[in-house]
Structure 1
Amino acid sequence: MAESYPVLEGAEPFYFEGNSVGILVSHGFTGSTQSIRPLGEAYAAEGYTVCGPRLKGHGTHHEDMEQTTYHDWLASIEEGFQWLKERCDKIFVTGLSMGGTLTLYMAEKYQEIRGIVLINAAIEIPAMEPVLQLEGTRFLDAIGSDIKKPGVTELAYEKTPVQSIKEILPFMKTVKENLSKVICPALIFVSDEDHVVPPDNSRTIYNLISSETKEIYHMKESYHVATLDNDQQMIIDKTLEFIKKQL
C-alpha cells in the first residue's frame, strides 16, 4: 500500500557513498532517521559508506504506520542492506531500539555481516503485552523522545498505533528465539535508565548470542534515545573503534 502522507522534514532516508566498508543504521519503532543521522554523518566523515533507511510507515504519519507490518520494516532494512552490498565488501549493522531488533534479525539471517552495534535493542517489552487484548482502540500515547538531555526532541509520532504494537511483539519474540544464530562480533550499548525498553533486554541478548567477541557498555547519562542524548559521542567513538578492530 502506498504511503499517503509526505515524509516529514528530517525523516528522510540518508545515503553517503564512501569506501568499501558499509554501515547500515536503523532507527526505531515510531521514530525516524533523525534519531540516527548524527551517527550516520559521523561514520561517513570517517570515509565509510553509510545507509540510513526510513522504515516503511515511519517518518510520515501514525496512520501510515498503522497500515504496515513488521515484514514491511524488514523489507526497508533489506533494501538498505542490498544498496550497501552493491558498493561494499564488508558490512556492519547498527540499530537503536527496534532498529536493534532489526539488526539482530539481519545478523541471524546474514552470517557474512562483519559486526553489529546495538543501542537499547528490544527483544521483549512486557508493558506492551496487554495491548494484545485491546479491541477497538486504534492509538495509544507516544513513546518517543525518552531523552535525558534538556532541550533535545526526537522526531517521532505523537501517537502509537495499537496495530503496530501487535506487529512488533511477535517480531521481537521470533528474534529472541533465534539469538543463538548471531555469530558476528557485537557491541552492545544499554542505558541504565530507559523508560521504553527494559535494560535487562541487553543482558539477555549478550547472554544468548553465540558471538565470541561481544562487549556491553552501560550508559549512565542517557535514556532510551541514547543516539540523541548525552552519550552520543561515546557511542560514535566506541563504534568506530569497534569497526576498526573487525577490519
Structure 2
Amino acid sequence: MDPLSLHEPMSHATDSSVGVLVLHGFTGSTFSMRPVAEFFADRGYAVEMPLLPGHGTTWQDMDTYSYQDWVEAVDQAYWRLQQRKRKVVVFGLSMGGTLALVQAARRDVDAVIVVNPFVKDMKPTMRFAHLLARFTPALDAIGSDIQKPDTDEHGYQATPLLSVRQLHLLGKEARRSLRSIICPVLVFKSREDHVIPVSSVEHLRQCLPHTRVVHLDNSYHVATLDYDAPTIFARSLEFIEELDNSSR
C-alpha cells in the first residue's frame, strides 16, 4: 500500500439532513478516524474528513504551520458540508476534539462529539516548547496509544516541539471559547489514557455542565481504533439520530 494513501482526506456527499465533520489528532492523520467517517457514510450521512496541514507527510512539515492553519482547514471543510446540509455535527479525536470545540464556538454547529479531547496542557512546559526547540527539534512520538495488539495509527515517529507550542496555543483558544458553545456535546473518555490526562475532560465539564460523558473501559487514547470503537460508533449514532429526529 502506498503510505500516502493511509492519510487521504474523505468527502462523501448525500441528501441527508445531517452532515458529519470528522477531525483527526495531533501528529496523526485521517487513518485514525477513517472508521468513523466510513461508519457514518455507510449510514447515509454526508461526511467531510480533511487532512490537517502538516499532517500525513513528515513531522518536519508540521513546523511550517500554525494552529490557525488547522482551524482554517476545519472551517473550509465545515463550509463544504454546511452549504448542502442544515445540521452539522463535528466529531474529533484528541486535538481534533479541540478543533471541534473551537469550531462550535465560532460557527453554527448543531452538536459536538469528542474522543479523549485535549483542552488543558499535559505538561506546563508546553508553553515553552518553542524555546526548547532551539536545543532539540523533536521529542519521542506520542502516537498509537492503543490497547489492542498490533494496531498502529500510522502517525509521526517524532513530536515536533514548534508544533507542541501551537497545540498549547490552540488549547488556550479552546478554553476561551468553551462558554460560547450552546450545542449538545458528547464526550468519550478512556479510563486509561497515556496521552491526555483526565483534567481536560474535568475542565470541559466544568465549563459545559450538561456535557454527556461516556467512559471507555477497554481502550487507550486512540479509542477509535481500539476495543471500544463499536461503543463509540453506536452511542454516537444514537446521539446524532436524536438530533435529527428533534428537527422533524
TM-score of Structure 1 vs Structure 2, range by shorter chain: over 0.9
- In the TM superposition, what whole-angstrom CA distance separates every residue of 1:99-158 from its partner, at most 9, and x where no partner exists? 000000001111x21100010000112325263541321111111000000111011000
Instruction: Provide the C-alpha distance between the structure 1 equivalents of 2:138 and 2:185, rounded to a whole number of angstroms.
Output: 35
Secondary structure of the 2:78 match is helix
Instruction: Provide the C-alpha distance between the structure 2 equivalents of 1:12 and 1:67, rounded to a whole number of angstroms.
Output: 20
Instruction: Provide the C-alpha distance between the structure 1 equivalents of 2:160 and 2:95, rounded to a whole number of angstroms.
Output: 15
Gaps of 5+ in 2: none
The 8 Å contact of residues 54 and 63 in structure 2, kept in 1 or not, is answered as yes
2:80 corresponding residue in structure 1? 83
Gaps of 5+ in 1: 1-5
- In the TM superposition, what whole-angstrom CA distance separates every residue of 1:163-196 from its partner, at most 9, and x where no partner exists? 0001110210121122111110010000111111
Q: Percent identity?
A: 39
Tell me which of 8, 12, 27 is aligned to 1:12.
Answer: 8
Change (3 A) 1:104 1:7: farther
1:185 corresponding residue in structure 2? 184
The 8 Å contact of residues 118 and 188 in structure 1, kept in 2 or not, is answered as yes
1:3 corresponding residue in structure 2? none
- Tell me how large the CA RMSD over aligned residues is: 1.5
2:219 corresponding residue in structure 1? 222
Question: Displacement, 1:226?
Answer: 0.4
Change (3 A) 1:150 1:7: closer
Normalised to the residue count of structure 2, the TM-score between the two structures is 0.92
- The aligned runs of 1:48-197 (5 Å cut-off) are 48-110=45-107, 112-127=108-123, 128-129=125-126, 131-134=129-132, 135-197=134-196
Look up the equivalent residue of 1:173 and give its one-letter code.
K
Instruction: Provide the C-alpha distance between the structure 2 equivalents of 1:187 and 1:14, rounded to a whole number of angstroms.
Output: 23
The 8 Å contact of residues 129 and 165 in structure 2, kept in 1 or not, is answered as yes
Look up the equivalent residue of 1:94 and give its one-letter code.
F
Instruction: Provide the C-alpha distance between the structure 1 equivalents of 2:122 and 2:34, rounded to a whole number of angstroms.
Output: 29
Question: Displacement, 1:204?
Answer: 1.5
The 8 Å contact of residues 120 and 171 in structure 2, kept in 1 or not, is answered as yes
1:198 corresponding residue in structure 2? 197
The 8 Å contact of residues 98 and 121 in structure 1, kept in 2 or not, is answered as yes
Instruction: Provide the C-alpha distance between the structure 2 equivalents of 1:126 and 1:13, rounded to a whole number of angstroms.
Output: 28
Normalised to the residue count of structure 1, the TM-score between the two structures is 0.93
Look up the equivalent residue of 1:131 and give its one-letter code.
A
The 8 Å contact of residues 7 and 60 in structure 1, kept in 2 or not, is answered as no
Instruction: Provide the C-alpha distance between the structure 2 equivalents of 1:117 and 1:123, rounded to a whole number of angstroms.
Output: 14
The 8 Å contact of residues 62 and 160 in structure 1, kept in 2 or not, is answered as yes
Look up the equivalent residue of 2:32 and give its one-letter code.
S
Question: Displacement, 1:51?
Answer: 0.7
Aligned length: 239
- In the TM superposition, what whole-angstrom CA distance separates every residue of 1:40-59 from its partner, at most 9, and x where no partner exists? 10011111000110000101
Instruction: Provide the C-alpha distance between the structure 1 equivalents of 2:122 and 2:234, rounded to a whole number of angstroms.
Output: 32
Instruction: Provide the C-alpha distance between the structure 2 equivalents of 1:142 and 1:77, rounded to a whole number of angstroms.
Output: 24
Look up the equivalent residue of 1:87 and give its one-letter code.
R
Secondary structure of the 1:137 match is coil
The 8 Å contact of residues 193 and 199 in structure 1, kept in 2 or not, is answered as no
- In the TM superposition, what whole-angstrom CA distance separates every residue of 1:205-246 from its partner, at most 9, and x where no partner exists? 122126x5x310111100000000011110010000000111
